[in-house]
Amino acid sequence: MNPLQPEAVATIGKTRMLKRRAKARVKEYIEAVLIALVIAAILRVFVVQAYRVESGSMENTLQVGDFLFVNKFIYHFRAPQAGDVIVFEYPLNPTKDYIKRVVATEGQTVEVIAKQLYIDGQLIADPADAKHIDSKFIPAELSARDYFGPKQVPSGQLFVMGDNRDDSRDSRFWGFVDMKHVKGKAFLIYWSWKPDDNAPEWSSPYIDKVFSIFFYNLFHFPSRLGWSRLFRTL
């Protein structure tokens, strides 16, 4: 058996060293990815979470297709305040998340008279982008939409309303929101993708839909993106 030449020994040693370095580099990458995933999970659970608006109850403040960042940390330091746009568990079905505006907090008295909101007897102006879409007034005997209360908000509860006042199911209809069910305060629209009834939808065969959806959205990108809504604060 012929002994290895010095050049061969050096080559083997160099190869082994490169393999060790490659393994160390892969290990570093894996550790970095795992750390990033853990940090992202912590941020999502405790600090910031993204939501998509799927109903028009907050128009025109929020529109269908808006994507929001919600601060989940802020209410560890202060209670929700009138004017905050919050995400919370829907009282009648806690598996669903709703988004509405706080209009009154514990101890305050809420009344709606002919679509006008009164808090503790004082008329409250509608938010800047709020709207009424129906000029008719529904009697209190038939609906709480246009005439409600007066009712006092219990301790630890909130009264919320949608900014689309004539087309929002909110505390006027299903009652107060317990503060322990509040998930956070919406603070930024980071993306807005307008609905399009003509856009292709996922269906079998899915391979075909991947291409049709991609190219449809690519072609319609300028018209579907809500340019004026990007990075709007709430």
For the stretch 184-212, pLDDT in tens is 999 999 999 999 988 888 777 667 778 88
Give the pLDDT band of residue 170 (cuts 50, 70, 90): very high
pLDDT higher at 216 or 28: 216
* 57 belongs to the catalytic site: yes
Q: What distance in Å separates the CA atoms of residue 109 and residue 118, rounded to the nearest whole number? A: 8
Is residue 83 over pLDDT 60? yes
Distances 58 to 86, 148, 201, 223 between C-alpha atoms, Å: 11, 19, 26, 22
Provide the whole-model pTM: 0.80
pLDDT higher at 213 or 160: 160
Instruction: Work out the percent of the chain whose per-residue pLDDT is above 70.
Output: 80
Q: What is the pLDDT of residue 199?
A: 87
Q: What is the pLDDT of residue 106?
A: 97
The active-site residue, picked from 23, 27, 55, 57, is 57
The active-site residue, picked from 72, 100, 151, 183, is 100
Q: What is the pLDDT of residue 13?
A: 61
**Domains recognised in the chain with CATH numbers:** 53-191 (2.10.109.10)
Please name the residue that has the structure tokens 């058996």: 1
pLDDT digits (tens, 9 = 90+) for 5-53: 565 555 666 666 666 776 667 666 676 666 555 555 555 555 789 999 9
Is-contact 124 186, C-beta < 8 A? no
Q: What distance in Å separates the CA atoms of residue 148 and residue 169, rounded to the nearest whole number? A: 13
pLDDT digits (tens, 9 = 90+) for 87-110: 999 999 999 999 999 999 999 999
Is-contact 163 59, C-beta < 8 A? yes
pLDDT digits (tens, 9 = 90+) for 43-80: 555 578 999 999 999 999 999 999 999 999 999 999 99
Q: What is the pLDDT of residue 31?
A: 62
Is-contact 103 218, C-beta < 8 A? no
β-bridge partners, 68:
51, 189
